[in-house]
Amino acid sequence: MRIARFSSALALACVSLAACGAPKVAPAVEPASAKAPESAVSRFFPLIDGTQWAYDAEEDDTGQKGLFVTRARAMAGPRFSLVTGQRSRIVEVRAEGITRVETGTYLLRAPLDAGAEWPGDGGAMVRVAAMDRIVDVPAGKFVGCLDTVEEQRGAGGEPVRRVTTTYCPEVGIVSLHAEAWENGRHIGERAVLRSFGKPISILKN
């Protein structure tokens, strides 16, 4: 994806759409626990070792499409690695929310009320833009979902980048729209959830 560098959504992007179709090996992470500690926001981003989310992706301007899969891998303590191809980001579950370990900023932070705000990456601000949404994506129809908007603006107040993320209870991220503005030109990509769940292990006799 061309604008993966603008997205702060937990490595939910491949380097290019063409690369999304080919499986890639990520560094092994030694599981430490099966399930993350509970947080005030855990129901909107449940982290369980081995869970995977598959997404359909599409560029706004070209219509070019792709597919990518993100997997959760448990680490020591309350941390999880979210792996997409050869990219990974580490998140930490805290009582008040879920943070990106690399930057210390929150993906989700309690209280999750409409209009609530907190600092994001690179000087951006994150706000809860909508609550109690009904969302219909290839993976299914979900209720009680919420939208967050992480937006960074330039010195003149113009938007530089924006990431709109929809979280649904007991599922996690079901849609993502990453946008950026470069020299007056808008570029963007969307991803919607196709399927999710723990991998099925087939044991041979």
97 CB-side CA count, 13 A: 15
pLDDT band at 156; cut points 50, 70, 90: confident
C-beta of residue 153 within 8 angstroms of C-beta of residue 161? no
Average pLDDT over residues 2-10: 43
Q: Where do the domains of the chain lie?
A: 4-197
CATH for 4-197 is: 2.40.360
Query: Which tens digits make up the pLDDT trace of 35-85?
Result: 555 678 999 999 999 999 999 999 998 899 999 999 999 998 899 999 998
Residue 140: per-residue pLDDT: 97
**Using CA atoms, how far apart are residues 143 and 199, in angstroms rounded to an integer?**
24
- Residue in 84, 32, 23 with CA at minimum distance from that of residue 53: 84
Query: Which tens digits make up the pLDDT trace of 77-96?
Result: 899 999 998 899 999 999 99
Q: List Cβ neighbours of 183 (8 Å cut-off, separation of 6 or more).
A: none
* Whole-model pTM over 0.85: no
Residue 161: per-residue pLDDT: 93
Whole-number average pLDDT of the chain: 83
